[in-house]
């Protein structure tokens, strides 16, 4: 792929391995009035009093690959750093806890039963990197963005209906402290750009007959000009 950007990121050097494909363009430039995310949300101070060391969960969509991010006070972990996920209990709540491969362990208060409606769903989350086609009600509006970061402006209530989710388009990952195998990033973005290109070409190549049918018209009669009869 070909990257157009005003900044550099940790996976850019993979162009030497994969080469430049001028047809697949990854434009990372942001509009002049765009709000730039400079850091991921960190654990609120009150969390530590209840749970101990905590992490705030965000999601990164690298093309069709969803990777979970875990922001602590010290660093940002990813799905690829997970050692074990388990259930824990504090004095008042049950919640998910996560241990990373470096031995560090953190509570995930976002994934607890304080919001009972979601508990059966979130208690089984394993936070592994998985394929996602972004067909959700909200995410489908961001399908044209190859690299999408989804975070919670208020991590205290991410599962509640009134929570505010933030979306960062094509962010500079290294500036946010996010590091993932650069081959994974490059390959998944390239694959996604190719998918978007194919979808656009298919849309443009829909036969006129299909377009007429999709609009509810009759192919034989709807668009035929009125023919004047021969004068006697």
Tokens for 80, please give them. Answer: 């690829």
pLDDT at res. 230: 46
Cα separations in angstroms, 137 against 133, 134, 140, 200: 12, 9, 6, 21
* pLDDT reading at 215 higher than 70: no
- Pair 178, 68: CB distance under 8 Å: no
Grade residue 181 by pLDDT with cuts at 50, 70 and 90.
very high
Pick 80 or 51 by higher pLDDT: 80
* First-to-final CA distance of the chain: 67
Grade residue 46 by pLDDT with cuts at 50, 70 and 90.
confident
* pLDDT reading at 76 higher than 90: yes
CA distance 52 to 48: 4
Tokens for 39, please give them. Answer: 């850091």
* pLDDT reading at 93 higher than 80: no
Pick 48 or 121 by higher pLDDT: 48
pLDDT at res. 228: 47
Query: What pTM, to 2 d.p., does this model score?
Result: 0.81
Q: Report the mean per-residue pLDDT for the chain.
A: 83
Lowest mean pLDDT: which of 9-13, 20-24, 115-119, 159-163? 115-119
pLDDT at res. 131: 94
pLDDT at res. 197: 94
pLDDT at res. 87: 81
* pLDDT reading at 194 higher than 70: yes
Q: How much of the chain is in helix, strand and coil states, percent to nearest 5?
A: 25, 25, 50
* pLDDT reading at 229 higher than 60: no
* pLDDT reading at 134 higher than 70: yes
Question: DSSP letter string over 33-75?
Answer: TPPPP-SPPPPPHHHHHHHSSB-EEEEEEETTEEEEEEE-SS-
Segments making up each domain of the chain, as ranges: 34-204
Pick 170 or 228 by higher pLDDT: 170
Grade residue 110 by pLDDT with cuts at 50, 70 and 90.
confident
What is the percent of the chain with per-residue pLDDT over 90, rounded to a whole number?
A: 54
**Residue in this structure with the two tokens 């824990």, named with its chain if needed:** 88
Residues 69-98 have a mean pLDDT of: 88
């Amino acid at each position: 792929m070909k990257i157009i950007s005003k900044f550099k990121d940790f996976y850019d050097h993979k162009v030497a391995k994969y080469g430049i494909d001028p047809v697949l363009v990854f434009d990372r430039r942001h509009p002049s009035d765009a709000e730039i995310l400079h850091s991921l949300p960190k654990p609120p101070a009150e969390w530590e009093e209840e749970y101990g060391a905590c992490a705030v969960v965000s999601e990164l969509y690298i093309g069709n690959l969803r990777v979970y991010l875990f922001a602590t006070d010290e660093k940002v972990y990813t799905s690829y750093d997970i050692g074990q996920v388990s259930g824990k209990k504090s004095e008042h709540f049950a919640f998910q806890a996560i241990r990373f491969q470096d031995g560090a362990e953190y509570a995930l208060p976002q994934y607890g039963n304080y919001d009972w409606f979601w508990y059966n769903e979130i208690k089984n989350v394993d936070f592994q990197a998985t394929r996602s086609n972004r067909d959700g009600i909200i995410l489908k509006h961001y399908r044209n963005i190859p690299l999408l970061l989804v975070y919670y402006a208020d991590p205290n209530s991410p599962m509640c209906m009134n929570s505010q989710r933030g979306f960062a388009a094509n962010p500079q990952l290294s500036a946010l402290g996010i590091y993932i195998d650069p081959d994974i990033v490059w390959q998944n973005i390239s694959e996604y750009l190719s998918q978007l290109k194919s979808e656009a070409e298919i849309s443009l190549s829909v036969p006129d007959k299909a377009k007429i049918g999709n609009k509810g018209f009759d192919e034989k009669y709807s668009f035929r000009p009125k023919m004047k009869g021969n004068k006697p």
